[in-house]
Amino acid sequence: MLDMQQVKQRIEKLKKLPGIAPKPIPQLLEENGFSRRDFLKWSASLAATLGLPASFAPVVAEAAEVSDRLPVVWLHLAECTGCSESLLRTDAPTIDNLIFKYINLQYHDTIMAAAGWQAEENYEEALKEFKGRYVLCVEGGVPTKDGGEYLTIGPYAETGLHKLKRSAKDAAAIIAVGTCSSFGGIQAAAPNPTGAVGIHKVLDKQVINVPGCPPSDRNIVGTIVYVILYGQLPAVDNFNRPKWAYGLRIHDLCERRGHFDAGEFVEEFGSEEAMNGFCLYKKGCKGPYTFNNCSRERFNQHTSWPIQAGHGCIGCSEPDFWDAMAPYEEPLANHKFESIEADATADKVGITILTVAGVAIAAHAAISAIKKPKE
Amino acid sequence: MKFLKVLGEYIGGIEFSAGYRWQHWIRAISIFVLIATGFYLANPYITYGAPSPTPTRFLHAEFREWHIIFGFALIGAVLYKTIYFFFFPEAKYERASIKDAFNIKLLFQQIGYYLLISKHPKTTGVYNPLQFWAYTLAYVLFYGIIITGLALYAEVYHQGLGGALYPFAKSVESFLGGLAYVRLWHHILMWAIIIFVVVHVYMAVYNAVFGKNGGMDAIFSGMKWEKEEH
C-alpha cells in the first residue's frame, strides 16, 4: 500500500487536470444540502470501509473532491441494471450517489438525459476527451458465442464484445460492477446459450471484480475512490475482488454466527426457530462459501441485508453462483447434479451405488459359498 | 487344545509391522468418526427448538472440533503410510507389488479368481494387482479429501496452521471454481471412500474365509501364514 505522501502527490497531480463538474465538488455538495461536516463524516466512514486508518479520512475527502478529474464511463452489457439500482435506490440522495451518479458520471445509459444519436455521440466524445483517464465501469456479462452477436447495442448493431474491447483500450482502470461482468452471472448459467463470460475473459488488461447481485453501493463507490486515491488497483483476492470488501466470508461476520456454532438452526420459515433468529444454514444459507462484506456493510444505507431479513445468503458474489449454490433454500449438501434422476444429490447417488454394491456383494458371497473359489 | 493338530507345512511371518497396523486402525476409526460428524456438518441432523437462556451451547462447534481432530489423525495416518510405502525398509514387500501391478496376466488371473474361474495367482509382493490399483485409487481419494478438507479448514481458522495453509487453500479454491465446489468435492470424495470401505471390508473377509491364511489376522497381529510350496 502506498503511503500518505504518495497519495497526496497524486491528488495534487489530479487537481491540475480539468474536471467535468460545472462547479468544484465541495461547492456542489454545499448547494445540495450537505455540510462540510456531513462530507467529512462520509469520508471517515469510507476510509474505514476501505480498511484505511482514521488519518486517511481527510485524504479520502480530497480524493472525492477531485474525483471529477477521473470521470466514470458506465457501460451496460448483458445485464438487468440491478447494479445501477443498487447505487440509485436510496431514500434520499446521498453523498455517494451525488458524486458518483450525478457529478462524476460522464456516461450512464439509465440516468442520463440524452437519448438516441445524442447518447451515442456523448459516449464517443467521452472516450475521446478523457482518453487514458476515465474509469470504465462495466455492468453485465459479455456474450461471446458466434462473435458476440447475442448482444448488440446502438444504431450500428455493434456487438457488446466489440464495444467493450474498444472502450477498455484507453481506460485508466476497469471495474466489473456486479457478478455478470465479473463472472458471467445468471446468463452464464448452464447451458449458457450465448457463451456469456465475465469481462476479464475477453480483455487483456487487469479488471477489478466487484461482484454481487447486486453489489452494495459501498463496494462500488469504495472501489472507484480507491482507484482515484491510489491510481492503481487495490489488493485483490484469487478472483480479483478487492480484499477490503471480499476478504472475509459472509459467515465470518454474520450476526447469526453464534446460533450456527451453537447448533441452533431454522428448520422451517415462519417457525418458532425463525422468530428466535436462529441460523439459516439448514434453509440453504450459502454464507459459509461466499466472500463479501454484506454482514458488515449491509444494503440501502446500511439498513438491512438478506440474512437480517430472514433469508439465507444465496452466494451471489461467487463465480458460477447460479449453478454452484442451487438449490437456494437447501444446504449445499443437497446440490442437484446433472443426471437422469432429476434430484440427484451426492447422498442419493452415493446410497444408490452403495445399494448396488451391497446387492452385488451379497450375490457374490452366496455364489462363492456354493461354488467355492479355486484354490 | 483338542482341535489343534499339525496341519501340513505352514510358514509364517510378519506381514504388517506395528506402525502399519496402528496407522490402519487409526485411519479406520477416523473414517467412521469423520463420516458421522461430516454428515452433521453438511446438514445438521440434531437441532434445538428453543433458544438457550445462556449462550453456552456449542453443538455445531463441537461436531466441527471432532471432525477436525479426526481429520488431522487421518492426515497423519495417510502421510505416515505414504512415507512408509516409499522409504521404509520393511515396506520392500509392498514395493515389490508394483512389478506385479503392471503384469496384465496376473491382473486378469486375479479377476478370474473372484469370478470363480481361475486359481488365486502367486504374487511376489504383498498386494495382488487388483488390490494394488484399488489402493492406489484409494490414495487418490484420500489425498483429494485431505486437500479439500484443509482448504475448508484454512478458511475458518485464519491463524497458525490455517494461516500457513491459506495461500494453498486459495489456490485449491481457484482451481475448483469457488469454496462451494471445494465443499461439494469434499462430500463426493467421502461417498467414494464409503464405497471403497464397504468393498474393502468384503474383500478382506472373503480372503480370510477362502484363503485360510490368516489374511484378516495380519492386520491385527501382523502374522500371515501360507502353505509352503514344494
For residue A161, give the CATH number of its domain: 3.40.50.700
Give the integer Cα–Cα distance in Å for B159 and B165. Answer: 9
Whether residue B135 has pLDDT greater than 80: yes
Domain shared by A123 and A228, yes or no: yes
pLDDT value, residue A201: 95
Structural domain contains residue A257: yes
Residue from A135, A317, A298 nearest A225 by CA: A135
Q: Give the CA angle between residues A216, A218, A224 to the nearest 5°.
A: 115
Partners of B199 on chain A (C-beta within 8 Å) are 357, 361
Domain annotation covers residue A316:
yes
Asked whether the predicted pLDDT for residue A2 surpasses 60, the reply is no
Average pLDDT, integer, range A79-88: 87
Query: Nearest residue of A to residue B51 by CA position?
Result: A276
In a mutagenesis test of the A interface, which of B115, B116, B203 is the best target, namely the one with the most A β-carbons within 10 Å? Answer: B116
Confidence of residue A106 (pLDDT cuts 50, 70, 90): confident
Same domain for A298 and A242: no
Q: In chain B, what residues touch A354 (CB-CB under 8 Å)?
A: 194-195, 198
Domain B10-44+58-227 has CATH 3.40.250.10: no
Confidence at residue A295, expressed as pLDDT on a 0 to 100 scale: 93
Segment among A49-63, A265-279, B178-192 with least mean pLDDT: A49-63
CB < 8 Å to A254, chain B: none
User: Is A3 part of a structural domain of the chain?
Assistant: no
**A52 and A156 co-located in one domain:** yes
| A207–chain B nearest CA distance, Å | 17
- List the single residue in B with minimal CA-CA distance to A291: B179
- Is the pLDDT score of A375 beyond 80? no
Average pLDDT rounded to a whole number, residues A252-268: 93
Average pLDDT (A115-121) is 88
Let me know whether A108 and A148 are in one domain. Answer: yes
Indicate whether A314 and A347 sit together in one domain: no
Query: Strand, helix or coil at B178?
Result: coil
- Greatest CA separation for chain B: 77
Choose one of A199, A228, A246: the last residue of a domain: A246
Cα–Cα dist A249/A317, whole Å: 10
Q: What is the ipTM of this complex?
A: 0.88
Is the confidence at residue A46, as pLDDT, over 70? Answer: yes
Residue with more model confidence, A28 or A88: A28
What pLDDT, on a 0 to 100 scale, did the predictor assign at position A112?
A: 80
Work out whether the CA dihedral B204, B208, B214, B220 comes out positive or negative: positive
B201 interface with A at CB cutoff 8 Å: no
Count of CB atoms within 10 A of residue A44's CB? 17
Beta bridge partners of A136: A73, A174
pLDDT number for residue A363: 95
Q: Answer whether residue A93 is part of any domain.
A: yes
The cell for A337 is 447434479
Instruction: Note the pLDDT of residue B46.
Output: 87
Q: How far is the CA of A344 from the CAs of A218, A331, A347, B212, B230, in angstroms? A: 39, 14, 8, 42, 56
Neighbours of B136 (CB within 10 A): 12
- Interface subset of A 213-242, CB within 8 angstroms of B: 237-239
Does residue A239 sit in the same domain as residue A267? no
Within a domain: residue A39?
Answer: yes
The pLDDT score that the predictor gives to residue A374 is 80
Looking at this protein, which amino acid is placed at residue A323? D
Residue A15 in domain? yes
Q: Do A264 and B179 touch (CB under 8 A)?
A: no
Shortest Cα distance from A273 to chain B (angstroms)?
6
Give the three-state DSSP class for A96: helix
Check B47 against A375: CB less than 8 A apart: no
Contact A249 B178 (CB under 8 A): no
Question: Do A226 and A350 fall within a single domain?
Answer: no
CA A350 to chain CA mean position, Å: 35
Q: What is the domain-level CATH number for residue A263?
A: 4.10.480.10
Residues A352 and A261 occupy one common structural domain: no
Q: What is the average per-residue pLDDT within B179-198?
A: 96
- Domain count of the fold of chain A: 3
pLDDT band at B154 (very low <50, low <70, confident <90, very high): very high
Q: Is A95 a domain residue?
A: yes
Same domain, A91 and A231: yes
Say whether pLDDT at A101 is over 80. no
Please name which of A224, A206, A239 lies closest in space to residue A315, comparing C-alpha atoms: A239
Query: Which residues in chain A are closer than 8 Å to B61, comparing Cβ atoms?
Result: 261-263
Query: Which residues, other chains included, contact B95 with Cβ-Cβ below 8 Å and sequence gap of 6+?
Result: B85, B86, B125
- Using CA atoms, how far residue B29 sits from A302, B32, B40, B59, in Å, is 48, 5, 17, 21
Which amino acid would we find at residue B4?
Answer: L
Residue-wise pLDDT for A128-137, tens only, equals 989 988 999 9
Q: CA of A64 to nearest chain B CA: how many angstroms apart?
A: 34
> Does B122 lie at the interface with A, CB-CB under 8 angstroms?
no
- Separation in Å, CA of A261 to nearest CA in chain B: 5
Which of A 267-326 lie inside 8 A of B, CB atoms? 267, 272-273, 276, 278, 281-282, 286, 288-291, 315, 318-321, 324-325
Those of residues 58-77 in A touching chain B at CB distance below 8 A are: none
Residue A93: predicted pLDDT: 67
Placement of cell 510358514 in the chain: B11
**The domain containing residue A343 runs over which residues?**
337-375
From A246, A267, A296, the end of a domain falls on A246
Q: Mean pLDDT, to the nearest integer, of A324-348? A: 87
A9-42 burial, b at 16+ Cβ within 10 Å, e below that, comes to ebbeebeeeebbbeeebeebbeeeebeeeebeeb
In this prediction, residue A184 carries a pLDDT of 94
Give yes or no for residue A98 having a pLDDT over 80.
no
Please determine, for residue B218, whether its predicted confidence score (pLDDT) is greater than 80. Answer: yes
Query: Does position A358 have pLDDT exceeding 70, yes or no?
Result: yes
Residues A13 and A137 in one domain: yes
User: Would you place residue B74 in the very low, low, confident or very high pLDDT band (cuts 50, 70, 90)?
Assistant: very high
- Position A68 pLDDT exceeds 90: no
Q: Is the pLDDT of residue A90 over 70?
A: no
- Residue written as grid cell 491510481: A231
DSSP, collapsed to helix, strand or coil, labels residue A128 as: helix
Contacts of A371 in chain B (CB under 8 A): 116
Q: What is the pLDDT of residue A91?
A: 61
The pLDDT of residue A49 is: 83
Selected residues 155-194 of chain B with any CB under 8 Å from a CB in chain A: 155, 170-171, 173-174, 177-181, 183-184, 187-188, 191, 194
Is A2 part of any domain? no
| pLDDT > 80? residue B201 | yes
Residue A141 — left, alpha, or beta (φ > 0 → left; ψ -120 to 50 → alpha)?
beta
Average pLDDT over every residue of A144-158: 92
The answer to whether residues A270 and A329 belong to one domain is yes
Q: Which residues pair with A299 in a beta bridge?
A: A304
Shortest CB distance from A373 goes to which of B47, B50, B113? B113
Mean pLDDT score of chain B: 92
Identity of the residue in B47, B48, B210 whose CB atom sits nearest the CB atom of A373: B210
Of A229, A246, A263, which marks where a domain is finished?
A: A246
Q: Do A300 and A347 have their domain in common?
A: no
